[in-house]
A and B are shown apart, each in its own frame.
Chain A
Amino acid sequence: MEYIVLVISAVLIKNILLAEYLGNCPFLGTSKRMDTAVGMGLAVIFVMTIATAVTYVVQHMVLVPLNLGYLQTIAFILVIAALVQFVEMFLRKFAPPLYVALGIFLPLITTNCAVLGTAILCIRRDMNFPEAVVFAIASASGFTLALILLAGIRERLEISNVPRALRGTAIGLIMAGLMSLAFFGFVGVDGSLKEFIQN
């Protein structure tokens, strides 16, 4: 039951893109077309889940026992960078169709702050391992949801009469803002759910 709250919170209320401000560069960069948005979203789900699990292990098996908490940033980013490259090679060898579909997005993900951000958030919020994994999947799904929604809007904007100065990223940002406003409507849903579970 707690996981349901966690998932709802991560996807809708604390959406990683629209409320936590993470992963905005690829959000605006890859939301121009629906097919790239879907590809990017799936790649992020894939990588974020693995990355969070691995960094969680690194944090709790290595950094904490060695009292090296302050090296978290550098350790995580190294692990993620290596992991992404590893995944890329792995997919290329063993799942060529998946590689063709997601391959071009993988290098983009290393510098996607949503991945590092989620990994760090899991640690900062003192989650346990299953929670961290569920949180990562949910966050990435939230990312994908927002990305796909925005891509749908932007595909329509392409053929609309947008004032010249607003064309491109500017209108994309404003659309993201309006979406974020809409997602505000979910605030409190988790509270009531928790209350419901609690009592």
Chain B
Amino acid sequence: MDGYTKLKLAAGVLATVGLYSVLYRENKFYRFVEHVFLGLAAGFTVFAVWAETLKVQWWDKMTGSQGEAGSPGTPGFWAYILLLPIGLMGYMVFSKKHNWMSRIPIGVILGFWSGQQIQIFWNKWGPQLNDSMKPIIPTNWSLFRPDMSQMTPEAAAVVQNDIYLSQAINNLIFTFTILAVLSYFFFSFDLKSKFMQTMNKSGRWLLMVGLGAIFGSTVMARFALVIDRMFFIFVEFLQRALFA
């Protein structure tokens, strides 16, 4: 491993330790690394905004390109320039008199976002609604689906299509959960009936089951990352680079 790579790894380790030091308490070293971090991030954004976004999405399309051998090139669509004044209106936010104009580019961005909400609504939620309509009457009253490994394919196909009692009960629980939690999110009705209050309360409890399950599985992700950091410090840096 060459010197540069070692130096790079060492810098990474130092930065990691610096940021971790906040776990003990806020200190000068953390504050230093934090400001380097913020500075690098801002610098990178200023670089990327032109190199990765505006150049590709705006400038190149506006000015076009000259063809090289074989390809005819692309024309420049000059009207893209009209976006620039709209964008500049955003800077009016600091003007005392014309600050309202900064709402125009904001309005355009929000308009596009809003229009897309209507456009994507069904594609996202339709299949979810469909999947929520589960059969709750069993077609086969035995409790569990039998082991299919011993069956002929024809017999297995029939078994596969049957709804067994356990499945029906599960589906019923599923349906109840979805309705109960949905009822928890009714805001504008005063739920007076005993039935609705029970639904509401069980909705809140079932919601907690959902949140607990998320917590349980998300913890894995967090630990995976800290494990990877330790791998970086102790295996990649210390074991493989420093004491190799």
Q: Is B truly associated with A?
A: no
**A interface, CB within 8 angstroms of B:** none
**B interface, CB within 8 angstroms of A:** none
